[in-house]
Amino acid sequence: MTIQFSGNAAPFIATSRDILVAQGIKLTIGSDFEEYKALVADERPMQKLGAPFDPDLHNLNKSNAFWLIGRNEEGELIHTQAARRIRLGGRPLSSYLLRQFRAFPPPLRGVDLARSRFRATPGTHRIAGTVAYHGEFWVAPERGKYRGVGLAPVLGRTGMLEMMQRWDPDWIYGFILNVVAFKGFGARIGYLHLEPSALKWVVDGRDAPIDTFLAYNSREDLEYLLDIPLQEAA
């Protein structure tokens, strides 16, 4: 199936380009995850590379994954995100994650994979077919410069559009820590569905487990989302 918009993607692309130019931000997309891993280690030391995008753990290439970064006018890294296709083997996401959820830990040290757990949410039973995982979303912490200025909708939708153009997925999904989800992060970057308590991670040295929301969109959600004038979202 080919993606269709009631209009087309051109207005979104033009408006997002104008917003990024006004902020002095240049985006780059690539598929060499050795390059991305080195970039993250060197320029994003406060958040380590997520396991789903570690080339030492997965065969990542231009056919099944990409990364997207943003730099400011000084060439400094101010944004990252990445996506990869997930092969469900004809199963729903719930069955896949029952066995594979430990492949999607948060980028924290000391995660106890043996004591952590996955709970199938209603959405995971519906998500099937061609599926993409969305992660690595980070924006430089200078609040008032890059955060809280309407960039998240632009960056989130840009990544989602790239997934649609590459793979035309039936669904995209990701995981958002509670502390971030409660601040409205999922809604800001463009997720129409959020389901709580999907993953619960036990971390050494923490009294309570870290809880996680499942965030997801269907193809129809993405078509609707990208047809909304970006000025309304940003």
The per-residue pLDDT for 12 is 74
Listed by start position, the domains of the chain span 10-233
Q: How do residues 161-192 score in pLDDT, each as one tens digit?
A: 999 999 999 999 999 999 999 999 999 999 99
* pLDDT per position as a tens digit, 35-65: 999 999 999 998 999 999 999 999 999 999 9
The pTM assigned to this predicted structure is 0.92
Instruction: Look at residue 14 in the predicted model and tell me its pLDDT.
Output: 76
- Tell me the CATH class for 10-233: alpha beta
Does 80 have pLDDT greater than 70? yes
Q: Please report the pLDDT score of residue 1 as a whole number.
A: 39
- Provide DSSP, the chain: -----SS-SHHHHHHHHHHHHHTT-EEEEE--HHHHHHHHHHH-TTSPPPGGG-TTTS---TTTEEEEEEE-TT--EEEEEEEEEE--TTS-HHHHHHHHGGGS--S-TTEEEEEEEE---HHHHH--SSEEEEEEEEE-S-BTTTBSSSHHHHHHHHHHHHHHHHH--SEEEEEEEHHHHTTTHHHHHT-SEEEEEEEEEEETT-SSPEEEEEEEEEHHHHHHHHHS-HHHH-
